[in-house]
């Protein structure tokens, strides 16, 4: 099996036809000998910030000397980046070999596994064979019925910022979404909760009480920002002073506070994580296209914020890092996102918009997005390709900057075109 054949098989399954539940992933992993039962996990969910929190925590654990797996989605540049051990992506040959092993098992099932279930089975098998000490695992969507929730009780169940997204699948209120996401909390773990509305906190607390789990709220009062620039930022958190983080934006400081709270929980559970590992892990972390500077001349910043909460954070970052600079915004979005509320906060910061179509069957066509943006008062151009849009964006005001923003499914292709 070639890498092209492996990916074609994985992507051929339509996840939307699958019914919620863990029965399929249980059956598939049973056929594989339950690799997930040989690995210890930190399980992380949330609407925003979970990927960044995963990356920071994995970097800290790796710096502490642990063989650390990292499972995230979606990918930005290539599929293999979704599963990593100590920062190294799964090699093509291992991805192909495990896919070839999984394929006949999945195809023999009366209720065929979804794409995400197949990918999760491949990842858990690889982590087990690489003998990971611990895996930092990002939930795909939701929590309770997500394929990753097949794992035994994790060391920590982490709930990052919870907001409105994927409402057709998770519920139309933050309380319903919180109830689904809190399903990753199991007896035997400890839970960490990002600050949230009282109604959400009560739902999570109730779940913890029912499972006999200790809940650790993230103490944002212990966080003190010190300085920031396009090269990174420094901050204090509790007794830890002058920490450096290359990821930009106030939200990343909040995510760092969450990762540090999880680190302390792990330390109390016997994991040897010293202060030097914390400092090194944070200083070395990289998480692409989250307000990331990818080019200096002209200045190009990429941000994959794809819901209204992310866009509000993006606008805050623009005001903090790029005050007064005219922005050419290269953007595209998926049709099922709340794009009608996403772009309004960005209008005061944008000089013009260039719309393109992300590479996804769920994409909103560039012309439709342009038609929505045009009456809002800023110049808009719809382009037939990402390459055309990037070229137009780079031919912009020399004193300004280019912002690639919108769907994560756009970011890889857009960054490549903007940095050629």
Task: State pLDDT tens for residues 305-332.
Answer: 867 788 888 999 999 999 989 999 999 9
Where does the pLDDT of residue 98 fall: very low under 50, low under 70, confident under 90, or very high at 90 and above? very high
Distance of CA 146 to the CA centre of its chain: 15
| Among candidate residues 136, 147, 48, the one with its CA nearest the CA of residue 87 | 136
Tokens read off for 242 = 């002058």
Residue 365 has pLDDT above 60, yes or no: yes
pLDDT at 20: 76
- Backbone phi, psi, residue 83, to 5°: -130, 125
| Among candidate residues 107, 55, 60, the one with its CA nearest the CA of residue 82 | 55
In terms of Cβ atoms closer than 10 Å to its own Cβ (0-12, 13-18, 19+), residue 256 is buried
Per-residue pLDDT averaged across 55-75, rounded?
A: 97
Q: How far apart are CA 190 and CA 51, in angstroms?
A: 20
Sorted by sequence, the CB contacts under 8 Å of residue 301 that are 6+ apart come out as 291, 292, 293, 294, 322, 401, 402, 403, 404
Pick the CATH number of 3-284 from 3.40.350.10, 3.40.640.10, 3.40.1190.10, 3.40.50.720: 3.40.1190.10
- Count the neighbouring beta carbons within 10 Å of the beta carbon of residue 185: 27
Per-residue pLDDT averaged across 38-45, rounded?
A: 97
Sorted by sequence, the CB contacts under 8 Å of residue 266 that are 6+ apart come out as 42, 61, 155, 156, 273
pLDDT at 337: 81
Answer for the pair 82, 119: CB distance below 8 angstroms, yes or no: yes
pLDDT at 172: 60
Per-residue pLDDT averaged across 330-337, rounded?
A: 91
How confident is the model over 152-186, as pLDDT tens digits? 999 999 999 886 454 445 546 888 889 999 999 99
Answer for the pair 257, 224: CB distance below 8 angstroms, yes or no: no
pLDDT at 177: 87
Per-residue pLDDT averaged across 19-41, rounded?
A: 95
Separation of first and last alpha carbons in the chain? 32
Query: DSSP alpha helices (H): ranges in 40-154?
Result: 50-63, 92-107, 115-129
Where does the pLDDT of residue 18 fall: very low under 50, low under 70, confident under 90, or very high at 90 and above? low
Q: How far apart are CA 137 and CA 54, in angstroms?
A: 7
Answer for the pair 330, 404: CB distance below 8 angstroms, yes or no: yes
- Backbone phi, psi, residue 189, to 5°: -100, 180
pLDDT at 282: 98
| Among candidate residues 225, 215, 161, the one with its CA nearest the CA of residue 185 | 215
Per-residue pLDDT averaged across 38-60, rounded?
A: 95
pLDDT at 129: 98
pLDDT at 168: 47
User: Between helices 50-63 and 275-284, what is the axis angle to 10°?
Assistant: 130
How confident is the model over 367-410, as pLDDT tens digits? 999 999 999 999 999 999 999 999 999 997 667 899 999 998 99
Q: How far apart are CA 419 and CA 57, in angstroms?
A: 29
Domain boundaries, the chain: 3-284, 292-418
Per-residue pLDDT averaged across 130-145, rounded?
A: 92
Tokens read off for 347 = 């209008």
Q: How far apart are CA 167 and CA 172, in angstroms?
A: 5
Where does the pLDDT of residue 37 fall: very low under 50, low under 70, confident under 90, or very high at 90 and above? very high
Q: How far apart are CA 224 and CA 236, in angstroms?
A: 5
Residue 253 has pLDDT above 90, yes or no: yes
How confident is the model over 280-297, as pLDDT tens digits? 999 999 999 999 999 999
Residue 216 has pLDDT above 50, yes or no: yes
Topology of domain 292-418, CATH: 3.90.190
pLDDT at 235: 98
When the pLDDT of each residue in the chain is averaged and rounded to a whole number, the result is 93
How confident is the model over 204-215, as pLDDT tens digits? 999 999 999 999
């Amino acid at each position: 099996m070639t890498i092209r054949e492996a990916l074609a098989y994985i992507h051929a399954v339509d996840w939307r036809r699958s019914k919620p539940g863990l029965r399929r992933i249980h059956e598939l992993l049973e056929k594989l000998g339950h690799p997930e039962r040989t690995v210890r996990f930190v399980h992380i969910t949330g609407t925003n910030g979970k990927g960044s929190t995963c990356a920071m925590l994995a970097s800290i654990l790796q710096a502490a000397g642990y063989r650390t797996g990292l499972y995230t989605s979606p990918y930005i540049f290539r599929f293999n980046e979704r599963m990593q051990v100590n920062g190294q992506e799964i090699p093509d040959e291992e991805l192909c070999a495990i896919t070839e092993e999984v394929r006949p098992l999945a195809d023999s099932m009366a209720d065929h596994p979804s794409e995400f279930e197949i990918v999760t089975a491949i990842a858990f098998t690889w982590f087990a064979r690489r003998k990971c000490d611990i895996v930092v695992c990002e939930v795909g969507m939701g929590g309770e019925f997500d394929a990753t929730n097949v794992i035994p009780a994790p060391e920590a169940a982490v709930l990052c910022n919870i907001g409105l997204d994927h409402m057709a699948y998770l519920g139309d209120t933050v309380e319903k979404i919180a109830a689904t996401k809190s399903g990753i909390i199991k007896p035997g773990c400890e839970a960490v909760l990002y600050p949230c509305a009282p109604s959400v906190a009560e739902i999570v607390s109730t779940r913890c009480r029912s499972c006999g789990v200790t809940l650790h709220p993230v103490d944002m009062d212990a966080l003190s920002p010190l300085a920031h620039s396009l090269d990174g930022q420094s901050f204090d958190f509790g007794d830890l002073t002058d920490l450096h983080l290359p990821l930009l934006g106030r939200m990343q400081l909040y995510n760092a506070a969450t990762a540090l709270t999880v680190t302390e929980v792990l330390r109390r559970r016997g994991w040897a994580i010293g202060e030097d590992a914390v400092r090194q892990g944070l200083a070395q972390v990289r998480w692409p296209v989250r307000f990331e500077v990818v080019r200096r001349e002209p200045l190009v910043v990429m941000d994959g914020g794809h819901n209204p909460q992310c866009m509000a954070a993006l606008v805050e970052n623009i005001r903090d890092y790029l005050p007064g600079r005219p922005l050419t915004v290269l953007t595209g979005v998926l049709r099922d996102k709340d794009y009608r509320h996403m772009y309004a906060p960005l209008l005061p910061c944008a000089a013009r918009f260039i719309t393109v179509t992300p590479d996804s069957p769920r994409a909103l066509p560039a012309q439709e997005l342009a038609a929505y943006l045009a009456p809002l008062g800023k110049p808009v151009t719809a382009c037939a390709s990402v390459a055309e849009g990037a070229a137009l964006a780079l031919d912009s005001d020399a004193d300004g900057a280019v912002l690639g923003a919108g769907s994560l499914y756009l970011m890889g292709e857009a960054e490549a075109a903007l940095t050629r």
